[in-house]
């Protein structure tokens, strides 16, 4: 407490536990941080309520574009292993959407705009997702390992070795149900989002919740650096090693 106030009112004023200007300022910062955390919890709870509202049927159904997915080829569907490959397809199938039935997309090549068919592939799950899909030992024999790099991180994924067994099929994308809406929930979510975005408080909120790093796993790439065989080797030593191998 300020000594001038003690001299003016005496030491009896200490029993009132009055806050100094510095303490008041610090409490304002703490109250602001608590407010940001409270808004995060409220926003999270509102999104949970929004997801739990459910759906209602849309009568009549409406078509919105076209969807494309993989199915068994005709000769495979008539074979004895149709059920076996259908079980694999259910786990690695992909669904794509387009407003065009031919799934053509516009791309620029050599300064000219051309229309090409949009590419679609089967899923290539990583090691974690592959273990969650619960493939049998026989089904695993139809996959081979493929290594890919994401920046400095090296990860493994599994690729189906016989994609010719599946073909693409295009069907109308019919919408037969819609999500239920609550105007009060939507209004409150927009108010919170507008307050945080308009005042640029998202960064401060993330810092309070997850720490000073922009991403919680920002140092993963540094921990998983690859060791290079020729790192810090002089050029002469590298060339000598190549000559010995030849």
More confident residue, 148 or 226: 148
* Distances in whole angstroms, Cα of residue 205 to Cα of each of 24, 89, 193, 219: 22, 43, 12, 21
C-beta neighbour count of 153 within 10 angstroms: 13
The alpha carbon of residue 11 and the mean position of all alpha carbons in its chain are separated, in whole angstroms, by 61
Rounded CA separation 66/68 (Å): 7
pLDDT exceeds 50 at position 219: no
pLDDT band at 209 (very low <50, low <70, confident <90, very high): confident
18-42: per-residue pLDDT in tens? 667 787 888 888 899 999 999 999 9
Average pLDDT value over all residues in the chain: 84
| CA 130 vs CA 55, 67, 82, 93, 148: distances in Å | 31, 25, 22, 13, 15
- Note the pTM of the prediction, 2 decimals: 0.63
- Mean pLDDT within 58-84: 94
- Cis, bond preceding 205 (omega within 30 deg of 0): no
pLDDT at 112: 79
Distance CA 185, CA 190 (A): 9
Q: What is the pLDDT of residues 124-175, one digit of tens each?
A: 999 999 999 999 999 999 999 998 887 778 889 999 999 999 999 999 999 9
């Amino acid at each position: 407490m300020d000594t001038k106030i003690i001299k003016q009112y005496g030491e009896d004023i200490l029993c009132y536990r009055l806050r100094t200007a510095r303490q008041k300022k610090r409490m304002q910062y703490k109250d602001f941080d608590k407010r940001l955390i409270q808004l995060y919890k409220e926003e999270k709870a509102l999104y949970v309520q929004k997801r739990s509202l459910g759906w209602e049927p849309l009568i009549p159904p409406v078509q919105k574009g076209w969807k494309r997915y993989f199915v068994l080829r005709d000769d495979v569907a008539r074979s004895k292993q149709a059920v076996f490959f259908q079980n694999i397809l259910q786990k690695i199938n992909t669904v794509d959407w387009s407003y065009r039935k031919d799934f053509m997309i516009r791309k620029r090549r050599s300064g000219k705009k051309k229309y090409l068919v949009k590419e679609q592939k089967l899923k290539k799950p990583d090691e974690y997702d592959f273990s969650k899909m619960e493939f049998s030992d026989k089904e695993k024999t139809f996959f081979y390992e493929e290594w890919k790099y994401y920046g400095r991180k090296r990860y493994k994924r599994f690729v189906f070795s016989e994609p010719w067994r599946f073909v693409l099929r295009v069907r109308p994308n019919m919408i037969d149900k819609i999500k239920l809406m609550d105007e009060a929930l939507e209004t409150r979510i927009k108010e919170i989002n507008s307050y945080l975005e308009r005042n640029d408080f998202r960064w401060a909120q993330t810092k309070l919740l997850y720490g000073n790093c922009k991403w919680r796993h920002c140092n993963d790439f540094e921990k998983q650096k690859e060791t290079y065989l020729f790192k810090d080797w002089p050029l002469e030593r590298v060339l000598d090693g190549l000559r010995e191998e030849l």
